[in-house]
A and B are shown apart, each in its own frame.
Chain A
Amino acid sequence: MVVRRSIAGIDSPEALAEAMRAAQYIADEGLSTAAYLGLALGKPLLLEGAPGVGKTEAAKALAAVLGRELVRLQAYEGLDAAAAMYEWNFPRQMLAIRQAGDAYVNLYADDFLIARPMLLALQRPRERLLLIDEIDRADHEFEAFLLEFLSDFSLSIPERGTIRAVEPPVVVLTSNRTRELHEALRRRCVYHWIGYPDPQLEAQIVMMRASSVARDTAHRVVAAVGKLRAEPLAKPPGVAETVEWAEAATLLNAQGAPWPTAFARAIGVALKDQDDLAFVAPRLDRILQGAA
């Protein structure tokens, strides 16, 4: 196992948190530690958490910090090798056969290979960061296949042989936890559970993400969202919803709506489920009252 103490000038979790803040992402201690250890140990980083807590954003910020291109692979049920790894450019191969006539033509040259995210990450491990998003949506076969990829960072293409990365690429996996991942997969990763941020941190995030929102508004929104999350909702608002709610309310307020009304009218940005809205509606005033 290769241990790199310092990568792209980052030599501690604190330095990483600092750099991510510069990339507009506020990482708490647990996340920066896990991310730093992932980089240093050359292991994939597995981020789990409820939808909308900023898992994908964390990967984007990490790519920005490392100065790497983000290669994103969205997982879904039925994801196959052609979409995840590589594909041959068949029309070109067919044309090449026709044009070549009697001459020899290598049909499996680089020209004919279309690299998909996983192969892209292996080809230039120092310049790219691979994000495998919402891995819980993929089926079990893909997860099993991923095990092999994540343990020795190689892919085999029958026509070409095995392609191995010169160094372990940086890989981030995210999961919404709609189903449990295989232990074997978790074991290969450095893990972090991203929870909802505490109110102080969330207010900072709101102000950083939405520059037009006043400090006061940010704190009110965060307080209201905190109360909403305590309710038994089908889809509790995530951090992204908090930011949008603050922005929407600010906009309505600028057009003349007084504060509690502006929040109440913009509720559709925070709660996106009819049952949830109906459930909260009778008590919305009280929830906002405490926030105002």
Chain B
Amino acid sequence: MTPRALDPFLAFPRALRAEGFPAAAAQTEDFLSAVGLLGPRSIRDVRRAAHAVFGPGPERRQEFDDIFDMVFLGRAFLAPGEAASEEAPQAFDAGDMDDLPEPDDEDPSGREASRRERLFARSFGPVDEAALLAAFARVLPGALPRRRSRRFAPARGGVADPRRALRDMARRDGEVLRLPTRRRTARQRRVLVLIDVSGSMKAGTESALRIAHGIIRTAERAEAFTIGTRLTRVTRALRRRSHDQALALAAGLVADWDGGTRLGEALSVFLSVPRFAGFARGALVIVVSDGLERGGPEALVASMTRLRGLAWRIVWLSPLASDPSYRPETGAMRAILPLIDHLDAGGDLAAMAASLVGEHALRRAGAVR
């Protein structure tokens, strides 16, 4: 093979990468070996090798084949969703804490208003439900799901720990005085909070952020994002101990308050950032949203299906569900209902806290209702 003939074989993984397929350098090497092994007698052999080595999932198979056709057969290829790119949601992660504006009592909207997007910040009122939040923070660690870790730790009443027993025996001339036992340790599952900050959720976003603050402060590993027309990571802001500081910081970060809802697209942006998608892996995912989606439900269903594949459990808190007669009737909500493990009320602070840890536990922990 002359170097020139090799060109499309090297261009193909590059084209894949450009379209968001994972294609590592080692896979390119495998691809070349595979093509060599299969003959190749025709373009079909090359395509078969590409399928086997790069392994596109069934839902991206068509896209994969289109890229293949473009590179090897020179057919035109239209990247999907290019028309909407101007409006597409973008991910935004506040870098170091140092870059963040220090919270002050002034409304920071003067700075924000200069942004081209005409996004604006919102300031929160003073926290008046401190008792409820304190109770929530006390109860939460016990209510968060745990999973068995692969690690064992010495514990009373577990299974016999032969390794330690043997070591003890060697120390004591082959006598076992006491049988050491061990047990699998448990770890908290990761928690991921996704908060819808679109216009229809206006009344609930503040409470949702407060709940998120409680979760971030108490859970071992938790992440929080707001989703609206864009995606904002607010985890760092919410790590502040002071409630008001944390909320003011988060409010300053989020620039798309009360905008339109493109939940599906924003979620797919979330999932396309590998670091973010990793937060959802094996995690308890809490979505606070009314599920009112502009346009058809297809994008939302596609992203929720992917999220379902990553998450351990998806809990959906909707302010609409606070009404006992609520039935998920909108197209989007009905379509994603099978993908959700639990749909519960999320109207105000108390409802959200109760949905997550249980009303009874909250009351016992001293929440005045």
**Contacts A107-B166, A140-B281, A180-B310 known; A193 to B58 CB distance under 8 Å?**
yes
Residues of A within 8 A of B51 (CB): 30, 33-34, 191-192
Which B residues from 153 to 170 make CB contacts under 8 A with A?
A: 162-163, 165-166, 169-170
The majority secondary structure among interface residues of chain B is helix
Task: Pick the contact of B162: A37, A46, A90, A195 (CB < 8 A).
Answer: A90
Which B residues from 18 to 39 make CB contacts under 8 A with A?
A: 22, 24, 26-27, 29-30, 33-34, 36-38
- A93 within 8 Å of B by Cβ? yes
Q: Considering the chains assembled together, what is the distance between the CA atoms of A13 and B41 in angstroms?
A: 13
**Contacts A30-B48, A41-B34, A192-B52 known; A97 to B174 CB distance under 8 Å?**
yes
Most buried by A among B22, B27, B51, B149: B51
Q: Considering the chains assembled together, what is the distance between the CA atoms of A58 and B162 in angstroms?
A: 39
**Contacts A139-B147, A180-B306, A180-B309 known; A43 to B162 CB distance under 8 Å?**
no
Residues of B within 8 A of A189 (CB): 55
- Return A229 CB to nearest CB of chain B, in Å: 14
Residues of A within 8 A of B165 (CB): 90, 94
Q: Considering the chains assembled together, what is the distance between the CA atoms of A34 and B24 in angstroms?
A: 18
Flag if B30 contacts A43 (CB, 8 Å).
yes
Residues of B within 8 A of A93 (CB): 162, 166
Which A residues from 171 to 197 make CB contacts under 8 A with B?
A: 177-180, 183, 186-187, 189-193, 195
- B53 within 8 Å of A by Cβ? yes
- Return B250 CB to nearest CB of chain A, in Å: 29
Flag if A187 contacts B52 (CB, 8 Å).
no
- A1 within 8 Å of B by Cβ? yes
Q: 1/0 contact trace for B75-88 toward A, CB 8 Å? A: 00000000000000
Flag if B22 contacts A187 (CB, 8 Å).
yes
Interface residues on B, range: 35 or more
Flag if A3 contacts B33 (CB, 8 Å).
yes
Q: With CB as the reference atom, state the residue of chain B lying closest to A177.
A: B309
Report B's interface with A, CB cutoff 8 A.
22, 24, 26-27, 29-30, 33-34, 36-38, 48-49, 51-55, 57-58, 61, 147-150, 162-163, 165-166, 169-170, 174, 176, 184, 274, 281-282, 306, 309-310
| In the complex, the 8 A-B pairs of residues with the closest C-beta atoms, listed nearest first | A191-B55, A90-B162, A34-B52, A180-B309, A33-B48, A97-B174, A183-B22, A141-B150
Report A's interface with B, CB cutoff 8 A.
1, 3, 5, 12-13, 29-30, 33-34, 36-38, 40-41, 43, 46, 48, 77-78, 80-81, 88, 90, 93-94, 97-98, 107, 139-142, 177-180, 183, 186-187, 189-193, 195
A-B contact pairs, 13 of them (CB 8 A): A1-B33, A12-B38, A40-B33, A78-B148, A90-B162, A94-B165, A94-B166, A107-B166, A140-B281, A183-B22, A187-B24, A187-B27, A193-B61
